[in-house]
Amino acid sequence: MTVAARGSWSLRRRLVVGIVGLLAVVSVVVGVSSVVALRQTLMARLDEQVMDAASRAAGPLQGAPQAEGDQPGNRIGTLVLRTRDGVVVRAEYVTESGVDVELTDAQIAQLRALDLGQQPMTVDLGELGEFRVGARELPGRDDVAIAGLPTAEVTATTSNLALIFALVTLAALVVAALAGTQVVRVALRPLDRVTATARRVAELPLARGQVALAERVPDSDPRTEVGQVGAAFNRMLEHVESSLRARQDSEEKVRQFVADASHELRTPLASIRGYSELTRRSGLELPDDIVYALARIESESVRMTSLVEELLLLARLDAGQELAHGTVDLVPLIADAVSDAHAASPEHDWRIETGEDPLVVTGDANRLHQVVANLLANARVHTPAGTVVTVSLVRAGDDAVLTVADDGPGIPAALRPVLFERFARGDGSRSRGTGSTGLGLAIVAAVVEAHRGSVALESDSAGARFVVRLPLARPEQ
C-alpha cells in the first residue's frame, strides 16, 4: 500500500487499524516469548533427564552389562550407548512397547561421531526421530556412556502452545477489530455532528440580507477533545453571526439613508419643476437666455426626479419592500409596452412574437411593466433608427421566457461584466446624449430577482439579446 493511499484513510480506519496492529504486535511478542520460555524450560528438564540417564548408563552397568536393558528408570524412548575401552558394549533403544531394540551400526556410528561435551545436544537419528543426547565420560579410560531422549514430546507441547496462542490471538484480533470499529464509531459520532452542522451552515445564504445563523454544534463539552472542536466551531459561528449582523445593519443604514434622501429630495424637486414651469407659462416676455435657462432647469429637474424615483425604488427593492402581489398576464403587458415603444420611436422596426395563451406570473404589474419598458427603452435609445427589435414571450417548463433582441451595435465587451450594476452605462455619445443614468438594467435585475426570476445578456456580434425568466404562477389547486 502506498503512503498516499494510507494518508487518505479515515480517522476511524486509522484508529481501528492502529489498535488491531498494536494488539497483534503485543500478542505475537507475548506468544513467542511464552513459547520460547516453555521450550527452554522443557529442554532444560529433558537435558537433566538425559544426563541422569547417562549417569545411570555409566554407573552400575560395569559389572553386569547383560542386565542393563531391564534396569528400572529407563523410560520409553531412552537410548543408551555404552563403550568400554573403545568397544561398544551396549547400544539399545526402548521402544514404545517397552522392548529394547539394538541400535543399528549407522546409528551407533552417528552417535559415536558426536562431539559431546558437558552439555547435551540435539541429533536427528533418521527413523528414530530427533533426540537430545548427552554423555558421561569416565575419566582415565576410553569409557563413555551416552544416553538420549526423544525431543518429540517437547516439540509437540511447544507447538501445541504456539497453535493455541495463534488461534487465540487471531480470535482476539477479530473481536478487537469489530469492537474497536464500534467503539471508535461511537467516540467519533460527535465529530459527525460537527460536520453536519458545518454542512448546514455552508448551505445557508449568507451573502446578503438578514441572516439567521441559528445552527450550533450540540457537542461542546470542553472536557472532551471533540467537544473542544464543537465549542471552537460554535464560537466561530457566533463571530460570523455577529459580523453578518453588523454588515446587515450598516447595509440597512445606507439603504435607509438613500431611501430617506431620495424621499426628501422629491418635494424640493417638485417645487423647482413647478416654479420653473410656472415661470415659463406666466406669459412674461423674458430674454432668450433666461427662457433657455428655465427650460434647462425644468428638464434637469425632471431628469433628477426620475433618478431619485429610481434610487428610491432600488432602495425599497433591496429592503424587500415595494412589491405588490397580484397575478399578471405577461401577454397583454408586453403588447402594451411594445406599442408604447413604437409610439416613442416609429423609426425602429418593432416585432412581437407571443402566443395567444395567457402566461400568468405572480407579482407586481407596474414593476414588471417597468422591466419590459426599460429593456425596450434600451433597444430604442442605444440603437440607431431602422434597428429591428424583436420581443418574444414563450413558455419553457415552469417559466415564462421573455426575450428582447435587437440587431443594433450590441453591448461593448468592457461593459458586459458590470452591465446589471448600478450606474453602469456605455460611454457612447448616444448614451450620454440621452441623459441616461445607468440604472435601467439594475432596476430590471432587482425587479426580476424580487420575482424569483433571472435576467441574462445573451449577446453576440449581431446585437443585444436580453433573456428574462420568470416563474409562472402555480394554477390554483
Ligand X SMILES: Nc1ncnc2c1ncn2[C@@H]1O[C@H](COP(=O)(O)OP(=O)(O)OP(=O)(O)O)[C@@H](O)[C@H]1O
**Distance of closest approach, residue 394 Cβ to ligand X, in angstroms:** 20
* Residue bearing cell 480506519: 13
> Interface with Mg ion includes 83 (CB under 5 A)?
no
Q: Is 402 helix (H, G, I), strand (E, B) or coil?
A: strand
Q: How many residues bind Mg ion (CB under 5 A)?
A: 2
**Residue 124 CB burial class (10 angstroms; 0-12, 13-18, ≥19):** exposed
- Distance of closest approach, residue 267 Cβ to ligand X, in angstroms: 23
Q: How far is CA 463 from CA 102, 354, 383, 412, 419, in A?
A: 118, 21, 9, 10, 15
Q: Please provide the distance, in angstroms rounded to a whole number, between the alpha carbons at the two ends of the chain.
A: 61
Q: Give the number of residues in contact with ligand X, rule: CB under 6 A.
A: 25
Question: Any contact of residue 248 with ligand X (CB under 6 A)?
Answer: no
The one among 134, 440, 453, 463 contacting Mg ion by CB under 5 A: 440
Quick note: the x/- pattern for Mg ion over 376-405, rule CB under 5 A, is --x---------------------------
Contact characters 321-360, ligand X, x per CB under 6 A: ----------------------------------------
Residues 6+ apart with CB under 8 A from 151: 43, 46, 122, 129, 130, 131, 132
Please report, as residue ranges, which positions from 201 to 230 form the binding site for ligand X (by CB under 6 A): none
Residue 146 Ramachandran class (φ > 0 left, ψ -120 to 50 alpha, else beta): beta
CB–CB of 46/154 below 8 Å?
yes
Would you count residue 438 as binding ligand X (CB under 6 A)?
Answer: yes
Distance CA 396, CA 398 (A): 6
User: Residue with the closest Cβ to Mg ion?
Assistant: 440
Contact 280, 295 (CB under 8 A): yes
| Minimal distance, residue 377 CB to Mg ion, in Å | 5
Residue 436 as a binder of ligand X (CB under 6 A): the answer is yes
For 249, counting Cβ atoms within 10 Å of its Cβ (0-12 exposed, 13-18 middle, 19+ buried), the class is exposed
The item of ligand X, Mg ion, none sharing an interface with residue 408, based on CB under 5 to 8 Å by kind, is ligand X
Q: Choose the one of ligand X, Mg ion, none that binds residue 226, judging by a C-beta under 5 to 8 angstroms depending on kind.
A: none
Picked from ligand X, Mg ion, none, the partner binding residue 411 (CB below 5 to 8 A depending on kind) is ligand X
How many CB atoms lie under 10 A from the CB of residue 205?
7
**Does 408 contact ligand X by CB under 6 A?**
yes
> 10 Å Cβ neighbour count for 245?
14
* Parallel/antiparallel/unpaired status of strands 130-138 and 121-124: antiparallel
**CA distance linking residue 232 with residue 213, whole number of Å:** 16
Q: Which of Mg ion, ligand X, none is residue 69 near (CB under 5 to 8 Å by kind)?
A: none
Residue 457, helix vs strand vs coil: strand
User: Smaller CB distance to ligand X: residue 4 or 423?
Assistant: 423
Maximum Cα–Cα distance across the chain: 171
Closest CB 296 distance from ligand X, rounded Å: 19
Binders in 452-471 for ligand X, by CB under 6 A: 464
Single-letter residue type at 391:
V
- Of positions 333, 439, 450, 455, contacts ligand X by CB under 6 A: 439
* Residue whose CB is less far from ligand X, 249 or 421: 421
Q: Report, in Å, the least distance between residue 218 CB and ligand X.
A: 49
Cβ-Cβ contacts under 8 Å for 297 (sequence gap 6 or more) = 272, 276
What does 273 bind: ligand X, Mg ion, none (CB cut-off 5 to 8 Å by kind)? Answer: none
Q: Which does 314 bind (CB under 5 to 8 A by kind): ligand X, Mg ion, none?
A: none
For 324, counting Cβ atoms within 10 Å of its Cβ (0-12 exposed, 13-18 middle, 19+ buried), the class is exposed
Among 167, 188, 165, 178, which residue's Cα sits nearest to residue 20? 178
Which residues inside 409-428 make contact with ligand X, applying CB under 6 A?
A: 409-411, 415, 419, 424-426, 428
C-alpha cell at 55: 549417569
Nearer Cβ to ligand X (103/391): 391
Listed ranges 243-251, 303-311, 375-383, 427-435: which one lies at the site for Mg ion (CB under 5 A): 375-383
Query: At closest approach, how far in Å is the CB of 391 from ligand X?
Result: 12
- Which C-beta is closer to ligand X: that of 93 or that of 420? 420
Which 367-406 residues touch ligand X, going by CB under 6 A? 374, 378-379, 382-383, 406
Nearest to ligand X of 305, 437 (CB atom): 437
Nearer to ligand X, 184 or 379 (CB): 379
Q: Which residues bind Mg ion (CB under 5 A)?
A: 378, 440
Binding site for ligand X (CB under 6 A): 374, 378-379, 382-383, 406, 408-411, 415, 419, 424-426, 428, 431, 436-442, 464
